Structure 1
Amino acid sequence: MYLDDAGVAQTRRTVLTLCRTLARKAELLDLLSDAAIWQQPHLGNADWIDKALASLDRLKSKPAPLPKPDEPCGRWLPSPVAVRLAQTENLHTLTQLADFVNQHGQRWWTQIPRLGQTSAAEIQAFFAEHADVLNLHLDLTKKRPAHPSLPAVSSGIAPIERFRPPEHLSGQSGSNRAPAPRCLLDAGNDFEAILAWLSIYDTGTPTHRTYRKEIERFLLWAIFERGKAISSLTTPDCAEFRRFLEDPQPAERWIGPSAQRWSPQWKPFKGPLKPSSARQAEVILSACCDWLVGQRYLDSNPFSGLNKRGYGRRQGTDRILSPPLWDHLIDYAERQAGASALANHKPADYRRTLFILRFAYQTGLRLHELTKARLGDLERLSGYDGEQWWLNVLGKGKVHRQVPIAPRLIDDINAHLRDRQLKPIGYAAPDTPIIGKLRKRLKDAPEDQASAALLSESALYQKLKGFFEEAADDINQADPIAAEKIRRASTHWLRHTHGSHAVYKGVPLEIVRDNLGHKNIATTSIYVHSDKDSRYKAILGMTGD
């Protein structure tokens, strides 16, 4: 079977899509044996073809099943989506889902964690297709607030945007306040001073979110555990906060599962902080206090009196994949991408994962830089040795840098675009995400523009975490220690691995610094292992190993 003007690969994809559609119809008709035939197609098997033809006759003779308003979402929507609707918003039936959409309006899907615009569009298309049967119509004309309008509170734990400290703990007369006439800020209390500090970082960026999280925890702890304003805290208080991060108690007040910031279930912590996270919190808060001292709001930085505490190994030194582990990841991804026994969509999914691994490793980009990279950011320049490709990156602190792109990686980008049924570099729209979903364009997307289904930071992070779990299982029996390390890996490990491997292969520190976007070469120097390598080789030489 071939389709007009279609190659073998495209024909196969079309046939397998038809098989999924028939399997779904059989499931809805409770014809489970027929569903099993189409769920595991064997296109070249004569016995399977005979069964498939008989099943096709049965399915053609039966009318298409129609949804009912009180039926479960899981009967008509993809299982992961239905589970997400039920777990996050307690939406179980189609009627409940329609009511939720109409309540929240045009951007209703933003209320549901990890539900993207593409899935939302598919849900809306389902309701539009069956509007007359269901008698459920979606009102998408109004823009509603992104979250319920909740009043500011001061009697309990709440995010900083909804929290106001009690008057006597506002810091208007904190014991560590610098003389008010000398203050350079238009801030009369701690809360206003904190907001002034946060305002120097762009809202919505990873830096802003991280800094807000840390100062928010510190402010709430000062109020509810120490009964003090931030501008009255002392060095012993900061030492106690350091201990608090190791075990936030009482747990019912401070610890809870992930929740939206507007949700009543929101808590500042998911659990005790790891040593590296506690160190990061202390560095950020000390920097905040230094800034407030420089603005003459605080008289001194209470963190400066703390002893230099050991927090274990520095980040970066133990978050690196050695060349053998990196080779295993690439080998596993390549094997899976070429495995014909996998479900029809899986090889393409693994090809995308393989591309993400190579792109992240060769560029050293941060997570948010990976998701923001567009084809229009690629620039071809003429160099002494020929044509060069560079990627323009707007990184941390909105600092621009250029990252070199190898010709082979350009080929990988074009291959990934083909998998997404998009045109190659130079022909696809400039705003096309370099990393994207393997889904069709949204129905209302112009033909010459990029797929609207781009990967979010969360989706990309979870995609690689899931892959690392699989790759760890693959090596677990042969090397359980290596498997455990792979399980701990994340997207940022690829950045650390890029830096470490580059330095090991002799790339000058200054070049690695510029590629990674470090302000200080001291940050880049964590990837220098020559001293440790020399010590290790020396001992091996002494022992004869």
Structure 2
Amino acid sequence: MNPRELALIRSWIQGISWDVIGEMYLDDADRNEVMRAVRQLREKLARKAQQLGLDADAKLWEQEREYSQEWMNRALKSVDTLKSKPDPRPQSEDHYNRWLPQQISARLASVKKIKTLADLAAFINQQGGVWWKKVPNLGKQSAEAIHDFFLASEIDLGVSLDLSSKKGTDLDVVVVSNRIAPLERFTPPAHLTGETGTNRAPIERCRIDARNDYESIMAWLSLWDEDTSTHRAYRKEAERFLLWAILEKRKALSSITTPDCAEYRRFLADPQPADRWIGKPAPRWTPEWRPLKGPLKPSSIRQTEVILSGLCEWLVRQRYLDSNPFSGLSTQGYGRRTNSTDRLLSPALWQQISTFAENQANNVALTESQRNDFRRTAFILKFAYQTGLRLHEMTKAKIGDLKQVSSFDGDQWWMDVIGKGNKHREIPISPNLMEGINAHLRDRKLGPVGYVSEGTPIIGKLRGESREALSESGLYQKLKGFFEDAASEVAGKDPLAAEKLKLASTHWLRHTHGSHAVANGVPLAIVRDNMGHSNIATTSIYVHTDRDERYKAMLGLSDKEKAS
């Protein structure tokens, strides 16, 4: 489990509410999504406990939670125990029910001669591609799951499935070769394994048990659980890069240079020859499998470079590589994972990006279209920051949701919001935000509030049909692109701030709204109502007073030491 997953499951054990868990660890996911995430983590813990032979721990995670201090202590201890133990590796003589899902194991039990994983592999190879038809009630999907397990565990088990000689099968495997094939099925030419790579550090200094590039990649991938999305994403990127290095550059991965990395960037934008590299989604073990579905977008290419730079940087630290070839590329940067309470912009950084957006909106060096785009971005930033709305709430906001209310202090503007769970709330709209809304309407060639259709989206498209809303993905990508531009702007003076901006997203603005409001003395109950939290405990994650006071106190101690 990664740190976020560990924090999530521990919060659930300790009885933290679903809403708070969603706000802290799952980008404000709804209750059903949080419950599903917890269920998946429990299944993962139960599976690992079962594979380690820890029956009591497995039973703990398979059963429903108990609301007692004794159960909480046992569960927390179990998490620590399982976290401390390395992931178990299957052995050929293990009983299959230790490694395969319970439903599949129950089907296999009807075949008496199958007891171990070795027995199962022998049975499959003997029966051929449609072996699963010999097992009562076992379907093709379950057969593919078993096949995937054997492919992933081939090295540990020392056995493999060979169905290629059987006729009439759609389960044929890809023969291990030096052609396009998944990482676990690919064998490079002997002179391109990386054992003598030109960027290899002295072998006697290497800190990992890796003789070649494949083994070094596997050592890096072992840092993450195999069934996590992180492991799959990182494997995909390492796999593509290794295949490209060998098949296109005729180089070992450990011989790749910075100019090669720049060429790889261009390759990802236009993978050629397309028939070799691009294909429709297909199982990894079929001949139709290809590393790419098509050209990558610039944002995806940047993400690829971040991951591969992380791989190479780790290999440098392990003294497998002498240098990181990606470090010479422009616009590189990758940062640590952030806790949910860190996913906010400080007042100073918020002011910096707001000023940057305003300056770009008035930059005469840009085209009128570009300036309009930055004016809209500046408005979106202000709208998100002042309202604290979720992404989907912003894109659904309509002019008709605004209403003017008279009070003793003069007229006020409020907006009706339908949030999570179809809950209604009202949020105040400041006079300067109303000015921003009307200015954005003018940029879209529309009249001001009161003179435009109530169905007009508050945030809309600038080109085409100006009465159409900007989509959720469009708004998200617009702000992600802006944060990257802002990161480049501040990188020279504040590289740490630049790294933070590269991680920022629309949800950071919601966190920033809540944190800044609390820091400015707005009562928690008001912040709760404004953000649409059902429980004030959720809102309390924006209270950083204790941490801030601790920092100031220790900073004072440091200042006294300097003075003495």
TM-score, normalization by structure 1: 0.46
TM-score w.r.t. the length of structure 2 is 0.44
